[in-house]
Structure 1
């Protein structure tokens, strides 16, 4: 067999192999509830840099590739660890008269392509293997969207990926200034998503639909939530963790609180689920402050005690016990601040409703406090008789539990 025939046969086999590869890459997408993908797309919509944390091979790069395809954005991947600081800050280019013209900082080709396109997804991969000098150069890219003398256009979104230091090749902890510029999302795999995807169907990514009529209220709600929390907890405004690893993650600062405020506004306008909002808030200001913020959001949604006292027959109390307790305490406090017989009777009606629709132990303290607010000339409402049995039973149960713990401790 001649060399030419061998060459032609090899070429044909490569063509067949190319056809097989094309068939393997021919996949489809479907809508599927995926909280971490929803969190990612909402942060991208809010134009906030996102950092995906996950073990190697878990699908971070594949998720970003699919996200770019779904959103119709050109994807530009930059492996941070293989670049020099000058690749992000720009290379000095000496002109004819540097004394008067200065020395401009020439941007790399990938930045020029993004500016020409006017839009795109900049994917900074392997961020945790970038040395400190490169991380320092990335600060302006992530926060100010500047690469050398170029400013990236508003249509460019930034997403990064990193492996935990324990599983990163020659890994570094992220510097606190760089870490504080990202929304940190833990990227995990869903068994069903992986199996379905290997079968040819992956979940589709789409930007959240924002309700135009909700935009002003969403901004007001987000500002009220964040400002209300920080007014009562000023120590949460800025907390740089003492642990080096924690400094490389999400922690509270004026910058990250501003990011959290933006995410709450976007999530409110999009009707995002509590699970997704929790991932975003905790990934911005950290777990502890994030959970406090989520709790304050719950309290903002609670009914006004004055409205409840005005029409107790139409009242609807929260299902969650902790929120119900806050509402009942607020009702009693409102009566204490402006006591009169009608409001006092309305409060008893609300306590009765609480007993009928939930655990009676929640009314023990409010009922005891409300009883002390009675004036001598006020009639005792019939609701008190109904409450007395429930409160007494709850108190006896508490005493029984206390005795049981005492006996168990003695043994």
Structure 2
């Protein structure tokens, strides 16, 4: 429930997998009520592809794909939860029509407001009525969570009432998201074979650039401050959303257990210095391992981009200069990213002259 709450608050598309009758629909409706969001329940088995792709009609001499009523109500409200219930009862043609809805929030020619959340629920195909396997493209657009119930929680619910998911807000600023993305990028430099692993058969979570993006956002939303000392997500985070278990649920739900747990283990061992400390202290120690250096420089560039000041941008070149003396190729990658984020009025520091060979190799200097 905590992972569901974080995903909805952070606007991450999420799919709950669980047996029939275990309260998935009730939990989503209760969460919508707590958040003050209208919930539109759409069951794929009783819908046609045109209910998601739009029904073609003539309008002013042109073909227009008219949205269904549920989409118009969400657009009029300006926010809400689109709940795709019984997802594995939707036939392949309907699943294909859902692709743009889940990824782009587009229903026919209507664009849903960005604040509309996407939540789905599904029974395993063997437990669903006329069940269908989930297509790989649709699975790759969602964070997959296993919805389980225990005898203890059910017994307690009958005694004192069933609890609804918490509705604590989740805040992830641009700096946290940027640093989480930088750390995921550094990890994928170490494990490039995990960038993309398309499954051969029926799919749930699997790694792709799209799902690594979801994983990075989940990291940013479940850590104290992505990329600061101790790595992403070792602190308490925001409310209940920052617990290690919730973080693991969301990350592995995005990219799969094998890739997700490897990323989390790598992050636990990073022990990175705070980017602000590196910019303030030119003599602060840097890590020795190349993957950690990649992560440090990525965090520094993300911090500078979020800060936006000329002073921070100029100080970052000193950090890159120190790295260039040991690992020029790592420094070249960071130099390219930093140069592209030069604030208005920022003056090139003298350190840049020492980096001329690095900048030439990065294509930033003739």
What interval of TM-score do these two structures reach, taking the shorter chain for normalisation? Answer: 0.5 to 0.7
Q: Distance in 2 between matches of 1:210 and 1:81?
A: 33
Residue number among 62, 75, 89 corresponding to 2:39 in the alignment: 75
Distance 1:302 1:103, change over 3 A: closer
* 1:335-354 matches, cutoff 5 A: none
Distance 1:111 1:61, change over 3 A: same
Q: Distance in 2 between matches of 1:223 and 1:154?
A: 21
Bigger helix share: 1
Q: Which residue of 2 aligns with 1:41?
A: 5
Distance 1:288 1:171, change over 3 A: same
Q: Which residue of 2 aligns with 1:262?
A: 217
Superposed CA RMSD: 2.1
SS of 1:94 mapped into structure 2? strand
Q: Distance in 2 between matches of 1:181 and 1:56?
A: 23
| 1:292 has 2:250 as partner | no
Q: Which residue of 1 aligns with 2:74?
A: 114
TM-score, normalised with respect to structure 2: 0.67
Deviation of the 1:196 alpha carbon: 2.6
SS of 1:169 mapped into structure 2? coil
Give the length in aligned residue pairs.
262
Deviation of the 1:209 alpha carbon: 4.1
Deviation of the 1:216 alpha carbon: 5.4
CA contact (8 A) 1:71 1:205 kept: no
Q: Distance in 2 between matches of 1:175 and 1:141?
A: 15
| 1:276 has 2:276 as partner | no
Q: Distance in 1 between matches of 2:212 and 2:11?
A: 15
* 1:260-409 matches, cutoff 5 A: 260-269=215-224, 270-271=237-238, 272-301=242-271
CA contact (8 A) 2:34 2:167 kept: no
Distance 1:124 1:216, change over 3 A: closer
Residue number among 50, 54, 63 corresponding to 2:18 in the alignment: 54
CA contact (8 A) 2:87 2:121 kept: yes
SS of 1:56 mapped into structure 2? coil
Distance 1:84 1:164, change over 3 A: same
Residue number among 83, 87, 95 corresponding to 1:135 in the alignment: 95
Q: Which residue of 1 aligns with 2:55?
A: 91
Distance 1:205 1:133, change over 3 A: same
CA contact (8 A) 1:193 1:203 kept: no
Deviation of the 1:117 alpha carbon: 1.1
Q: Distance in 2 between matches of 1:62 and 1:75?
A: 11
Per-residue CA distance 1:107-150 (angstroms, 9 max, x = gap) = 11111111111111111011111111000000011000011111
CA contact (8 A) 1:85 1:133 kept: yes
Q: In structure 1, list runs of 5 or more residues that go unmatched.
A: 1-36, 305-326, 331-411
Residue number among 117, 124, 127 corresponding to 2:84 in the alignment: 124
Deviation of the 1:197 alpha carbon: 2.3
CA contact (8 A) 1:88 1:107 kept: yes
| 1:184 has 2:184 as partner | no
| 1:241 has 2:184 as partner | no
Q: Distance in 1 between matches of 2:98 and 2:174?
A: 34
Q: Distance in 1 between matches of 2:145 and 2:158?
A: 24
Q: Distance in 2 between matches of 1:235 and 1:146?
A: 32
Q: Which residue of 1 aligns with 2:188?
A: 230
TM-score, normalised with respect to structure 1: 0.60
Q: Distance in 1 between matches of 2:199 and 2:74?
A: 35
CA contact (8 A) 1:49 1:158 kept: yes
